[in-house]
Chain A
């Protein structure tokens, strides 16, 4: 029983394309996140979303947009992909529903995105 799952595991695409990564959690958590981990292993938080609000890291380009059909899912859409978007993207969830990041997060297995 995977707690946080992501699909696809690998995604290879051309510059300029639009792509989506899906994330599902079965932990009953209130908040989900998206992270980007670059080649230097820096994990950078991109979004936090719960049933109350979406919080966006101010440094994330607006080509990136999260979509949440329900509490258990948070998908990441990326428009007009660029070479610099190549990275591993992790979804995570936590019980925290206060719009803060003070609670333990559980990470999905990651999606390795390669933009050619």
Chain B
């Protein structure tokens, strides 16, 4: 079992729709959860982080964390073609050797 798992996609949604990206993790001791966006050939950039159970909203983005189910998700409302990228989930805690990225989900937003 991988430490952080994501569906590789591609996930295709029409412009204006809600895109839902999911991530599961194996270490129950994980403390911090991040979503990064990576455009092809570019470096990852942070979208959101979340530390507590529940929802956290920032503009069109909402991160959801459920530690009991070891599940974190990212919702993108009103998806735009410029949102087309690979979304990386990262999970970590207070042990450096337990910080992991998932392999990412490729999102395509069609005009």
Q: Contacts A41-B103, A41-B104, A43-B88: A100 and B94 contacting too (C-beta < 8 A)?
A: yes
Q: Contacts A101-B32, A104-B49: A109 and B97 contacting too (C-beta < 8 A)?
A: no
A90: chain B residues within 8 A (beta carbon)? 43-44
**B101 contacts the other chain (CB 8 A):** yes
**A45 contacts the other chain (CB 8 A):** yes
The contact string, 1 if C-beta is below 8 Å from chain A, for chain B 48-90, is 0101000000000000000000000000000000000010101
Which A45-81 residues sit within 8 Å CB-CB of chain B? 45, 48, 55, 57-58
Contact B31 A102, beta carbon cutoff 8 Å: yes
Q: Contacts A40-B103, A41-B86, A43-B88: A102 and B43 contacting too (C-beta < 8 A)?
A: no
Contact A108 B43, beta carbon cutoff 8 Å: yes
Q: Contacts A102-B92, A102-B93: A42 and B103 contacting too (C-beta < 8 A)?
A: yes
How many residue pairs link A and B with beta carbons under 8 A? The number is 53
Complex Cα spacing A102 to B46, Å: 13
Which A1-60 residues sit within 8 Å CB-CB of chain B? 40-45, 48, 55, 57-58
Residue in B44, B95, B101 whose beta carbon sits within 8 Å of that of A44 in the complex? B101
Complex Cα spacing A41 to B88, Å: 10
Task: Jot down 26 A-B pairs with beta carbons below 8 A, ordered by A.
Answer: A40-B103, A41-B38, A41-B86, A42-B101, A42-B103, A43-B44, A43-B88, A43-B90, A44-B101, A45-B100, A48-B96, A99-B96, A100-B93, A100-B94, A101-B32, A101-B92, A101-B96, A101-B99, A102-B92, A102-B93, A104-B34, A107-B43, A107-B44, A109-B42, A109-B43, A110-B42
- Chain A positions within 8 Å of B, measured between CB atoms, are 40-45, 48, 55, 57-58, 90, 99-102, 104-110
